[in-house]
Amino acid sequence: MTENETVVERCGTELTELADQAARAVRAINHVTITGPALPAPCVYNVLGALKGLGYGLDQAAGQLADRLAASDGVFDLYECDGGHPSGSIAAATSALTEAAEHARALGMLLDAAQSAIAGQGYLT
């Protein structure tokens, strides 16, 4: 099996499952926080610390996915269902992924700022 075939096989299983796990984790946070008691800053601080890593990580992941997608045009015998050339859709996807990476980086920075804003806060039990 070639390196490309191995990667494509992993993309269909491992990479997709990892992305699903990340989405499920965010959904679980949404379910836990949709109602319920107030959360003190130290608790929110810890959650923000983990989530800012998600923003920064998505920045990197989106950029790398764009790069690998762009590289696929020269490696695989690609086609479009409508008969067009795949380079147009690859360019559109790459552009969208690049913009998504910028937004993800901004998300990481904003979550970092929110975490910093409450860093000195505590509560009495």
The residues spanned by each domain of the chain are: 1-36, 41-125
What is the 3-state secondary structure of the chain? Answer: CCHHHHHHHHHHHHHHHHHHHHHHHHHHHHHHHCCCCCCCHHHHHHHHHHHHHHHHHHHHHHHHHHHHHHHHCCCCCCCCCCCCCHHHHHHHHHHHHHHHHHHHHHHHHHHHHHHHHCCCCCCCC
The predicted pLDDT at position 8 comes to: 73
Residue 101's pLDDT band, with cuts at 50, 70 and 90, is very high
Residue with the bigger pLDDT between 57 and 13: it is: 57
The predicted pLDDT at position 9 comes to: 73
For the stretch 38-73, pLDDT in tens is 999 999 999 999 999 999 999 999 999 999 999 999
The predicted pLDDT at position 88 comes to: 95
